[in-house]
Structure 1
Amino acid sequence: MRPIQARISLGALAHNLRVARDHAGAARVFAVVKANAYGHGLSRARRALAAADGFAVLTLEEAANLRLMGVQQPILLLEGLFGADEVATCAELGLWPVLHHVAQLDWLQRLPPARPLQVFLKFDSGMHRLGFPLADHAAIVARVRSLPGVAGVTLMTHFAQADEAAGVDWQLQPFLSEVADHGLPWSSANSAALLRYPITQGDWVRPGLMLYGASPFAEVPASQLGLRPAMSVHSEIISVQTVQPGEGVGYGQLYRAEQAMRVGVVACGYADGYPRNAPTGTPILVNGRRSRTLGRVSMDMLSVDLSECPDAGVGTPVELWGEGLSVDSVAAAAHTSSYELLCALAARVAVQETD
C-alpha cells in the first residue's frame, strides 16, 4: 500500500470548537463545515463538532447529508438558494438560507413554502462579494419581513480584512449603525473576527478555519491561539539518491546541488493535495527533524534534503504537515493559504481517525 496517509483528530476538532465557544461569549456558534469540512470529512466533523449550536454549509446536498446523519441543529446555507425549486427543499429539511439578492426574494414570494423559513439577510458592508447594498436595508428588511414564507430574520455581513491590520471597524460600524433600528439578531464574525474582535460576536458566530486548527493570521501561529491541528499528513521516503555538485533534482532541474548530497524521494505529490508551486525550502519533517523540499513537486512525489538526516533511508517517516509542522508554515512557504491545503487533500489519500 502506498504509504501516504492523513490522520484526522476528532479530539482536536472538539477542542477547537471549545476555543471558539470561549471567544463567542453569549453568541451561538455555527460550525462551518463546507467543502467536506475543509477536507476533514463531513461525517467526522459532524461527530466531533456535535456540540455546535448549528452547522453552516454551501449546498443543499451537504445539508441533506447532515440531516441524514441525524443532525437536528439549524443548518445555514451560506450562499442561500440557487433556484426557485430549492425553496420547498429548504422547508422540508428545515434549513436556514442566506438571502443576498433580489431573485431569492422573488422565489420566496412566488413559491411560499408550507413551512415558513428562518432566513439570514446578508448585507454588503464593503467586501463587494455577496449581499444587498446597505443603503437599501430599510426596504429590503421590510419586504422580507412581509413575506408569508419567512418565519424569522437574522441580519448578516462578512468581513474582508478581519485577518489583516485594516481590521473590521470600517465594515462593522456602518453595518451596525444602518441595521440597529430593526431590532433583529445579527451575525458577522468569522474565525479571525471571533478571535480578535469581541465586538463582532452578535447573536451568531461562524468559525471555520480555526475549527480545523489553523490560524487565520499570518503573524500568529495556531498554537498561540490555543488551537490544535486536526489534520496530519504523513508519508515515507521511497528512494534515496546521491547527487553530485552541479547536478539537478526533478522536473526542470530547478534545484542544483552545490555539493554532494543525499536526496530523499517522498511518496506525496500534487495529486495528493500537496501544493505544486511549493518552492525549494518548503519545510518538511523527516523522522521528526525539520528539513526542506528540493526542486519541483511532481504529481506523485517530491524530493527532500537529507543533508541533516544522515540516518534517513527508504521507509523513514515524513510529516508533510500536522502536529509537528503547522499547515500554516507550509502554506506560507508555498505562497498559498492553509484553507487551500486542507481543502485540497485528495480522495486517494487514505484517512485514519484518531481521538
Structure 2
Amino acid sequence: MRPARALIDLEALRHNYRMARRLGGGRALAVVKADAYGHGAARCALALQDEADGFAVACIEEAFALREAGIRAPILLLEGFFDADELPLIVQHDLWTVVHAPWQVDALERTPLRKPVEVWLKLDSGMHRVGLGAADYRDAWQRLRALPHVGGIVKMSHFARADEPECVRTDEQLATFHDATAGLPGESSLCNSPALLGWPRARAEWARPGLMLYGVSPFPQANAIAAELRPVMTLESKLIAVRDLPAGEPVGYGARFVTERPTRIGVVAMGYADGYPQFAVNGTPVAIDGRPGRLVGRVSMDMLTVDLTGHAQAGVGSRVELWGNQVPAAQVVAHSQTSAYRLLCAVKRVPLQYTG
C-alpha cells in the first residue's frame, strides 16, 4: 500500500476547541465546513459532540452528512439557504440558518413553517461579501422578530482583516456592528479564529472558531496565544527510492534544483495530487526519521524529493513528515505561496487515520 497518509489527532482537536471556547468566554460553534478543513467532518464532529455547543457548515448538504453521522447538536448553515424550498428541510433536520440577504427575509415571511427556526442575522459591517447593509439591518431584524415561525435571532458579522493585528479595519467593523445593532436584544457572534486569538474586545456570546480548531495559527507572525494550539493533522509518507548523484546534476522537472556537491536524494511518495503544495520552494522544511530536512526540486503529482545530506541512516522506508508536530504547517505555508486554509483544505487522496 502507498505509504502516504494523514494522521488526525482528535485529542488535539478537543484541546483546541476547549481553548477557543475559553477565549471566547461564552459558547462556540465548531466550524467543520469543507470536510472540517480536510480533516473529515463527521469524525471531527463526533469527537467534539460531547462538549461542542454546536457546529457550523457552509451549506445544507454538509449539514445532512453530519446528521446522517449521528450528530444531534445544533448545526448552523453559514451561507444560509439558497432557495426557499430548503426552509422545510431546515426545520425537519433541526438546523439553524444564517440570513444575509433581503430575499431571504422575504422568503421567510412568505413560507410558514411548522415550528420556529433559529436565525443568525448577518450584518455586512465592512467585508462586503454577504450580509445586510447597516441601513437595512434593523428593519430586517424587526420583520423577522414579528414572525411566529422565527425563534431566536443571533446578531452576527464577519471580520475581513482580523489576521492583521495592527490593522484598524477590525475596530472599524466592530464600531459599525455596534452602531447598527444598538438597542436590539439578543446574543451576538463576531469572532472567527483570528478575532478570538487577537481581538479580545470583539468577543461576544458566540464564537465561530475554524482554522484554530485544527491547530494552525491564522497569523503570519508569532502569536503567544496561538502558540498554545496543538496540530491536529500530521501529513506523512516514506522514502520509496534513494539516488546518489554527483555535483552538477538536476533533480526533477525543470531542473529547479541542481546538486552543488555529491548528494543523496530521497524520493517521497507524496505530491500535489495528495494536497502538498506544488510550488513549495527548495528548502521547504520536512522531517526525515524525526530529524530536520529539506525539500529540493519541483513537487510532482505523486512524488517529491528531499536532500538526504546529514541523514546517513535514511533509506527506503524512512518516515518523512511533511507537516505536523515536528514541521509546523505555518512553515510550509511560508515556503509555498499559499495560505494555511488552502494547505489543509487541499489534502485529498491520502487516507485519514484517527487517534485519540
Is TM > 0.5 for Structure 1 vs Structure 2? yes
1:41 match: 40
1:295 match: 297
More off after superposition, 70-79 vs 315-324: 70-79
1:287-342 per-position Cα deviation (integer Å, ceiling 9, x unaligned): 11111111210000001111121221111110011111111111111021121111
- The structural deviation recorded for 1:127 is 0.7
Residue 64 (1) aligns with residue 64 (2):
yes
2:15 is paired with a residue whose SS is helix
Q: Which amino acid aligns with 1:274?
A: Y
1:321 match: 323
- The structural deviation recorded for 1:246 is 2.1
Residue 151 (1) aligns with residue 151 (2):
yes
Q: For the structure 1 residues 221 and 254, does the alpha-carbon distance in structure 2 shift closer, same or farther, using more than 3 Å as the test?
A: farther
- The structural deviation recorded for 1:65 is 2.1
1:89 match: 89
Equivalent pair of 2:24/2:205 in contact (CA under 8 Å): no
- CA distance, structure 1, for counterparts of residue 223 and residue 270 of structure 2: 25
Q: For the structure 1 residues 250 and 223, does the alpha-carbon distance in structure 2 shift closer, same or farther, using more than 3 Å as the test?
A: farther
Q: For the structure 1 residues 223 and 300, does the alpha-carbon distance in structure 2 shift closer, same or farther, using more than 3 Å as the test?
A: farther
Q: Which amino acid aligns with 1:230?
A: V
- CA distance, structure 1, for counterparts of residue 213 and residue 310 of structure 2: 34
1:314 is paired with a residue whose SS is coil
1:53-103 per-position Cα deviation (integer Å, ceiling 9, x unaligned): 010011212212222233222111000001111011001111111011112
Q: Which amino acid aligns with 2:140?
A: I
Equivalent pair of 1:214/1:222 in contact (CA under 8 Å): no
Identical positions, percent? 50
- CA distance, structure 1, for counterparts of residue 163 and residue 279 of structure 2: 24
2:142 is paired with a residue whose SS is helix
- CA distance, structure 2, for counterparts of residue 93 and residue 219 of structure 1: 41
Q: Among 237, 244, 247, which residue is 2:246 paired with?
A: 244
RMSD of aligned alpha carbons: 1.5
2:5 match: 5
Q: How many pairs were matched up? A: 353
- CA distance, structure 2, for counterparts of residue 223 and residue 203 of structure 1: 20
Q: For the structure 1 residues 48 and 220, does the alpha-carbon distance in structure 2 shift closer, same or farther, using more than 3 Å as the test?
A: farther
More off after superposition, 294-303 vs 255-264: 255-264
- CA distance, structure 2, for counterparts of residue 68 and residue 314 of structure 1: 42
More off after superposition, 62-71 vs 179-188: 62-71
Q: For the structure 1 residues 152 and 158, does the alpha-carbon distance in structure 2 shift closer, same or farther, using more than 3 Å as the test?
A: same
Equivalent pair of 1:222/1:228 in contact (CA under 8 Å): no
1:157-191 per-position Cα deviation (integer Å, ceiling 9, x unaligned): 00011110215211111111221211221110001
- The structural deviation recorded for 1:223 is 8.1
Equivalent pair of 1:221/1:328 in contact (CA under 8 Å): no
More off after superposition, 239-248 vs 143-152: 143-152
- CA distance, structure 1, for counterparts of residue 7 and residue 37 of structure 2: 14
1:196 match: 198
Matches within 5 A, 1:147-186: 147-164=147-164, 165-166=166-167, 168-186=170-188
Q: Which runs of 5+ in 1 are unaligned?
A: none
What's the TM-score, normalizing by structure 1?
0.96
- CA distance, structure 2, for counterparts of residue 6 and residue 152 of structure 1: 40
2:182 is paired with a residue whose SS is helix
1:201-257 per-position Cα deviation (integer Å, ceiling 9, x unaligned): 211100011111111111126885311111101111111112222221101111111
Residue 28 (1) aligns with residue 1 (2):
no
- The structural deviation recorded for 1:138 is 2.1
Q: Which amino acid aligns with 1:42?
A: A
- CA distance, structure 2, for counterparts of residue 224 and residue 30 of structure 1: 18
- CA distance, structure 2, for counterparts of residue 221 and residue 295 of structure 1: 32
1:216 match: 218
Residue 271 (1) aligns with residue 270 (2):
no
- CA distance, structure 2, for counterparts of residue 238 and residue 29 of structure 1: 43
Q: Which runs of 5+ in 2 are unaligned?
A: none
Q: For the structure 1 residues 65 and 266, does the alpha-carbon distance in structure 2 shift closer, same or farther, using more than 3 Å as the test?
A: same
